[in-house]
Amino acid sequence: MKERHLKILDMVNEKDRISVQDLAVRLGLSVVTIRKDLEELESEGLLRRQHGYAAKASPDAINSRMSFRYLEKKKIAQKAVSLVEPMETIMIESGSTCALFAAELAAVNDVTIITNSTYIARSLGTAPGAKVILLGGDYDTVAEVTTGPVTELCAREYYVDKIFVGIDGYTEENGFTNINHTRCSTVRALSKQADKVIVLTTSDKFGKRSVAKMFSSKEVHTVVTDSQLSPEYADILRSQNIRVELTEI
């Protein structure tokens, strides 16, 4: 992704809605160039164009969530690739960082991915090195994910060494949490079919608590996050026997 596209996404996500003229002034570019950039970003589902403005995409859409801290998520995804062996079968749930990870993994490794994310299944459709097993269930057309008892039933047919998941918060007192209780329940069910739970998340989630408990600290094997994780939280995680993998600065 172009550096200026990242800057545009940061400005849109910060303000929810920003004018094309304001973007042009702040970036030192022509209005014509900004409009072309917005067309490209909208085609990728990362924002919405309105008359004279750029606005956030639907907050539940995975592309919209992916646009937040995109560069950090990309580095986390690249770091996590080293945790997967060639020809391995793994599970990946539907988080935005997980989707970036799936794309990075499929580009360099022959793997089988079991997932409840139709976004991941669709985006890897042309990846020659990846075989995708999509779990059925109740389909959320906006988030592009399956959840519920059917998804959980399908997951019981498989056993893997690793599952990669995203979170919305972590505190020492409450463990790993998620904003969506339905997704949380499904992810917990998927994790029972894996030996190791590996969390992929940006460092801004530490110190925050969401509404639904996903995992206790003892249930998580590894956390992969960006280099801005505070030493305090790195020490807390390691003291609870969680492996911590940090991206390079």
- Adjacent-strand bridge partners of 246: 225
Expressed as residue numbers, the domain containing 209 is 70-246
pLDDT band at 92 (very low <50, low <70, confident <90, very high): very high
Q: How many domains does the chain have?
A: 2
Find, among 54, 7, 10, 9, the residue nearest to 27 by Cα. 7
Going by the DSSP 8-state scheme, the letter that residue 225 receives in this structure is E
Other beta carbons less than 10 A from residue 99's beta carbon: 26
Enter the pTM of the model.
0.82
pLDDT tens-place string over residues 8-56: 888 887 777 899 999 999 999 999 999 999 998 888 778 889 889 998 8
Q: Which residues contact 47 (CB under 8 A, 6 or more apart)?
A: 8, 9, 12, 38, 41, 54, 55, 56, 57, 64, 67
Say if 76 falls within a structural domain.
yes
Same structural domain, 77 and 176: yes
CA dist., res. 231 & res. 58, Å (int):
34
Same structural domain, 173 and 119: yes
Going by the DSSP 8-state scheme, the letter that residue 206 receives in this structure is B
Q: What is the residue whose two structure tokens read 């690739």? A: 81
The tokens of 13 are what? 């996500």
pLDDT tens-place string over residues 163-215: 999 999 999 999 999 988 999 999 999 999 999 999 999 999 999 999 999 99
Say if 63 falls within a structural domain.
no
Same structural domain, 208 and 229: yes
